[in-house]
Every structure is written in C-alpha cells, then in structure tokens.
Amino acid sequence: MLDENKTFEPLIVAFCCNWCSYAGADLAGTSRLSYPPNVKIIKVPCSCRVDPLFVLRAFGKGADGVIVCGCHPGDCHYSTGNYFTRRRFTLMFNLLDYMGIERDRMRLEWVSAAEATKFARVMNEFTETVTKLGPNRRLIDLRNLPEEFEELGKEPKREVLPPPTSHSRDIPSVAHIEEQMKARATKLLADGVVDRVLAWKAGDHETMPEPAFFDHPAQIENLVYNKYCAPNLSKYLMVAPWLGGKLFDGSTLIFLKPCDSYSFNQLIKENLVNLEKTHIIGIGCGGTVQVEELEDVGMWEKCQVCTKVSHPVGDEIIDLSDDSPRLDKNARFEMVEAIEALNADDRFAYWRSQLSKCIRCNACRNTCPVCNCKKCVFSNDKYDMASKVNSTEFEEQAFHIVRAFHVAGRCSDCGECSRVCPQDIPLHLLNRKFIKDINEFYGEYQAGHDITAPEPLTSFDLGNDGQVDINKGVRT
C-alpha cells in the first residue's frame, strides 16, 4: 500500500519541441522563474514527433501526468507539424478518456520561446492538478515496481454495460448471387481474363465458409456464397502475390461485399494492391449471421448497423436488389454513446473487464485490412514468443489503444476485429470512437469511400481545427 502519510509527489513528463517550448523552458530557467522539479522534460524536434505510444510508455513507466508542448499554431518550425499534433492528440486524449483514464492527466499546450512565464505557469498548474488526482493507477506497467505499489491495478473488473440493442432484420437469400458469381468466375477464368479467383469455399461445416483461391474453372463448383460469408476478403489480395512462397504475377478476380469494398478501396488508396491486375466484382449482401455451436444466433452486430449498400469500387456489380430498410447511419454509435455516458470509473472497469480477456492471439491484427505494417511495433521476439504474449495488463491496454490509433481515419468499420476475436472483446468500439470523433470534429468521413479525399489524421483545416478544445475534447 502507498504510505498515506507520505506527501504524494507526482512524476510529470513534458515532451517539448526544440524550437519553441524547450526554448521557453530554458528561458524560464534563466529568468529564475520557478516550476516544480517533478517535471521531467524530454526534448523532441517537433511536437508532431510525439507518437501517442510515447505518452502511453511514459504512463506505463510511472509518469502520473504527461504534457505535450509545441509552438503555437502557425509558428511550427516545420510549418505544419503542430497541426497534425493537434488532431492526433485531440483524438488520442478523447480515446483515453473514453477508456476511463483521467483526462486531467494529459494535456497539450502551445508555448513559444518567449513565453517563459506561460511555461512556468502551465507546469505549476498541471503539477497541482495531477497531485490532486493522486498516483496514476490506470495505465501502468506493473513490472519492476517497488512493493508499495503492489495494490495498483487491482481494482475490481466488472461488466457495467447492458448488451447492445438488436437491430436484426430478415436476411434475404443470396442463392441467385452465388449462381451468378460462379458463372462469371468460370467465364473469366476460361477466357483468360483472370488467372485466379478469390472468393469463399465451404469450410468444415456449412456455417464456416472460408476465403479461398480458385485457379481453374473446374474448381468453381466449390465456390460458396451464403449468409455465413462474413470474412472480409480485402486483405488476402494484399498478401496473395506471395502465397506459397512463390511470386504470383497473374491477375485476380475478387468478389467484394459492400463493406469489404470500402476496406479494399482504402487499400487501393494506400497503393497496397495492384489495381491493374485485379478484376473486382461487387456483390450484394443482406447481412451475415453469427454462429455459436453451429447454431445461428442472429445477425452480426456489424451487419445490424451496416449502412454500406453501394460499392465504391468495382468493375462489375452483381446486386442483391434488396430494398429492405436501412438504419439511421448513427445507429452504429449507440454503444459508443452508452460507454461515453458512464462515469470514468465505470468506463475504466468496462474496458478493463474486456481487455483483460485478451490472449494476444493477434487475430484482430491479422484480419484487419488496414493493420498492415510489415513489422508491428508490438512484435516481440523476446523468448521467441513471436509477438504472442501480453507481458502485463499495461500491454493489454496499450496494444489495443495503439492498434486502434494506427487505423484511425483508415478503418472503414468492417467490424472484422471483433468478429474474429475468440474472447468476444468488442474491439470495434475503440475504432468507432475514433470514427465518431472524426465525424464530429472534422466533418463526416467514411474511410474507403473516396480515394481522393484527404485522410483525417494526415490533413488539417486551419479554419475549423482551432474550434476544437484539445484538452476538453469538445468543439468550442
């Protein structure tokens, strides 16, 4: 237990850009302005050099508060670095708040080289705020901590949310689409237009179709398309040139459901698929079904709230001609709003109860179309575990926070991360929080819809972005 009689002295980590804020700190020192010795400054070339992972690491290694300081908007030494910082940390601080991490432990401030007084004032204020909050107990690496910290992280884990509202509707038959898919695949293969086909084939059970390549017309009879074809095929084409250890140089026909075509279009935008060697057929979808113990248990949540009925990309379309009513486009944010409405303790308890189930199987990372770094920052070769280990609860949290952040603005909300999770962790609710915030702060944005649209995290809007209060996470 922490010694209650001992005055708590917080550890504050301040990331300061070299050109303004660090110079401001320097001036505060030479001007003999006082700010607490609790503040440990880390100099960075520009505020945009501060990866949100640095903030998590600082917390994980014992910081009680983290502050990022940069030049005032318009004054960045690299012209626009702090505009990216502004968007990045607005979203990141909001996500941490959504996960129940006290918002007041994080702060972003613009401090110029001449603002020694402001630097000292901000550091005094921030240290006082964090001192009142007490030690950081929620984002901490429990390894190698002194004994007095042994109680940290032992808050009870509890479920605090009701199950999501069901929006299930009838699922139309797609048998006629399967027939047309087979006919087109056979013809395109036979005519030599494509050299192989990427679709689904029957798995061990009819409820478990799996992604498959077909490279001969005679194999097409094994192609299936039904209400169980939930797997998103987008990512398979990205890795496909190397399948079997051989480079495949031919062209591929890929079938894409509407939601898959958004993630595929995002990959086109990121130059990760060779469009010239791809023939795309968009296929209609009326929703896919979740199965437990080989029994249907209703439509996947991602399909219940899906509004993606058109294909943003495709050489041909085989449509469903389904005119069943679609939901209001904001229905998908219901669960996010339910979590936002909880108090910080309950938000933390909710995410702790969920993320502590993670076994780091990496299924979420492997299936996600836009989680496609060649070397993941979380790959861990230590002990030859090949990134299949969570060393601590901190890593459980950090892995999913960083993964969600890395796909922010690129995630099309296909929901595959949650669908494949063997532990039923609703990981898509992290991605959806980012999507919701991006829509609210920077305007409606749907990843994969338009390959010419600027990405929300690598662009900025001078007129609009200043209207968002980074530290409060609201529009002013």
Tell which one of 23, 41, 76, 417 touches ligand FES (CB under 6 A): 76
- Whether residue 429 contacts residue 335, with contact meaning beta carbons closer than 8 Å, is answered with yes
Site string for ligand FES, 372-391 (x = CB under 6 A): --------------------
Tell which one of 81, 312, 426, 473 touches ligand FES (CB under 6 A): 81
Tell which one of 12, 13, 25, 82 touches ligand FES (CB under 6 A): 82
State both tokens at 212.
Answer: 């498959």
C-alpha 63/C-alpha 141 separation (Å) is 10
Cβ nearer to ligand FES, comparing 20 with 122: 20
Beta strand 289-292 with 295-299 is antiparallel
State both tokens at 53.
Answer: 């992972």
State both tokens at 229.
Answer: 């074809």
What's the N-to-C CA distance of the chain in angstroms?
41
Give 469's Cβ-side CA count (13 Å radius).
Answer: 7
Q: Does 112 bind ligand FES (CB under 6 A)?
A: no
CB of 255 to ligand FES, least distance (A): 46
Q: Does 78 bind ligand FES (CB under 6 A)?
A: yes
C-alpha 472/C-alpha 470 separation (Å) is 6
390-427 CB burial, b ≥16 within 10 A, e <16? beebbbbbbbbbbbbbbbbbbbbbbbbbbbbbeeebbb
- Binding segment for ligand FES (CB under 6 A), chosen from 78-86, 329-337, 396-404, 423-431, is 78-86
Q: Does 84 bind ligand FES (CB under 6 A)?
A: no
CB of 86 to ligand FES, least distance (A): 10
Cβ partners under 8 Å of residue 267, min gap 6: 234, 235, 237, 238, 273, 369, 370, 372
Cβ nearer to ligand FES, comparing 78 with 445: 78
Cβ nearer to ligand FES, comparing 20 with 291: 20
Tell which one of 71, 101, 224, 306 touches ligand FES (CB under 6 A): 71
Q: How far is CA 163 from CA 85, 222, 339, 355, in A?
A: 36, 38, 12, 17
CB of 113 to ligand FES, least distance (A): 9
CB of 71 to ligand FES, least distance (A): 3
- Binding segment for ligand FES (CB under 6 A), chosen from 30-38, 72-80, 135-143, 157-165, is 72-80
C-alpha 109/C-alpha 9 separation (Å) is 22
Cβ nearer to ligand FES, comparing 79 with 343: 79
Cβ nearer to ligand FES, comparing 48 with 268: 48
- Using CB under 6 A, count the residues that bind ligand FES: 12
Nearest Cα neighbor of 401 from 67, 86, 138, 53 is: 53
- Binding segment for ligand FES (CB under 6 A), chosen from 32-40, 69-77, 334-342, 372-380, is 69-77
Cβ nearer to ligand FES, comparing 20 with 224: 20
Cβ partners under 8 Å of residue 208, min gap 6: 228, 291
C-alpha 291/C-alpha 208 separation (Å) is 9
In 312-354, DSSP assigns E strands to 316-318
- Binding segment for ligand FES (CB under 6 A), chosen from 56-64, 73-81, 99-107, 198-206, is 73-81
Site string for ligand FES, 9-48 (x = CB under 6 A): --------x-xx-------------------------xx-
Q: Does 77 bind ligand FES (CB under 6 A)?
A: yes
Cβ nearer to ligand FES, comparing 46 with 116: 46
Place of tokens 């607005």: 90
Residues engaged in binding ligand FES (CB under 6 A) = 17, 19-20, 46-47, 70-71, 76-78, 81-82
